[in-house]
Amino acid sequence: MSDNAISQEFGRRVGVMRRTHKITLDQLAERSGVSRSMLSQIERGKANPTLAVAARIADAFGLSIVHLIEEEIRPSLVEVIDADDEQALFSEKNGCRLRTLTPLHMEKNVEFYELTFAPGGELDSDAHFAGTREMLSVAKGSVEVAVGVEPPTSLGQGDTAHYPADRKHKIANRGSEDAVCYLVVSYA
């Protein structure tokens, strides 16, 4: 197992233990003496903790470091993608910020995104696999959806559109304020 894989697995285990014990990063930081930002980086697999830091984290859960590393930990049935999770940022271009809200293991069947459009921002997509459908719901502002050669359809706050995504399609903010949408991509 590579160092990176070990760090990611350790971080995953720390996150599972924290959620299982229903404690926040701040509470774990207080109990372990490890900073909140370091704990967040460890959970996301972005930092490789020293043995001393790993031991302090394990001790905060009342475990030895061996138990935290070797013991099988049952993950929570509830998976959370934190609002500040930088790994969730899928792309940011053409005035559209795309943030994935789907756990990686689900992405072959369905994808769920938060889209934030600046005024004039757009997401221009090529055709997906045959049978793919998209469902777009507008939480704030307004957007237009164009599918194939049809004229664009306008959507306002609270509106939801369902359309085939196996042909070229575009979502665009033609308004003067930011727009926030939620997009579900369902593969056949």
* CATH number of the domain residue 148 falls in: 2.60.120.10
Q: Which domain holds residue 97?
A: 86-186
Looking at residue 2, its pLDDT comes to 65
Q: Is residue 166 part of a domain?
A: yes
CA neighbours within 13 Å on the CB side: how many for 5? 2
- Closest to 14 in 3D by CA, of 102, 53, 3, 112: 53
pLDDT digits (tens, 9 = 90+) for 81-128: 777 766 666 778 899 999 988 876 666 788 999 999 999 999 999 999
Arithmetic mean of pLDDT, 132-159:
97
User: Looking at the structure, do residues 171 and 103 belong to the same domain, yes or no?
Assistant: yes
Arithmetic mean of pLDDT, 25-48:
89
Report d(CA 86, CA 81) in Å as an integer.
Answer: 10
Looking at residue 76, its pLDDT comes to 62
Q: Is residue 116 part of a domain?
A: yes
User: Looking at the structure, do residues 144 and 182 belong to the same domain, yes or no?
Assistant: yes
Q: Is residue 80 part of a domain?
A: no
User: Looking at the structure, do residues 116 and 46 belong to the same domain, yes or no?
Assistant: no
User: Looking at the structure, do residues 180 and 94 belong to the same domain, yes or no?
Assistant: yes
Sign of CA dihedral 61, 62, 63, 65: positive
User: Looking at the structure, do residues 99 and 181 belong to the same domain, yes or no?
Assistant: yes
User: Looking at the structure, do residues 109 and 166 belong to the same domain, yes or no?
Assistant: yes
Looking at residue 71, its pLDDT comes to 56
Report d(CA 124, CA 48) in Å as an integer.
Answer: 38
User: Looking at the structure, do residues 56 and 22 belong to the same domain, yes or no?
Assistant: yes
User: Looking at the structure, do residues 92 and 46 belong to the same domain, yes or no?
Assistant: no
* CATH number of the domain residue 65 falls in: 1.10.260.40
Extended beta strands in the chain, E state: 89-93, 96-100, 110-117, 122-125, 133-140, 143-147, 153-155, 160-164, 169-172, 179-186
User: How many structural domains compose the chain?
Assistant: 2
User: Looking at the structure, do residues 31 and 117 belong to the same domain, yes or no?
Assistant: no
> What share of the chain has pLDDT > 90, as a percent?
51
Looking at residue 45, its pLDDT comes to 83
Is the confidence at residue 20, as pLDDT, over 70? yes
User: Looking at the structure, do residues 30 and 108 belong to the same domain, yes or no?
Assistant: no
Q: Is residue 148 part of a domain?
A: yes
Report d(CA 33, CA 27) in Å as an integer.
Answer: 10
pTM exceeding the 0.95 threshold for the entire prediction: no
Arithmetic mean of pLDDT, 30-53:
90
Phi/psi for 147 (5° steps) reads: -125, 125
Q: What mean pLDDT is reported for the chain?
A: 87
Q: Which amino acid is at 117?
A: F
Neighbours of 31 (CB within 10 A): 16
- Closest to 134 in 3D by CA, of 160, 108, 155: 160
Looking at residue 75, its pLDDT comes to 60
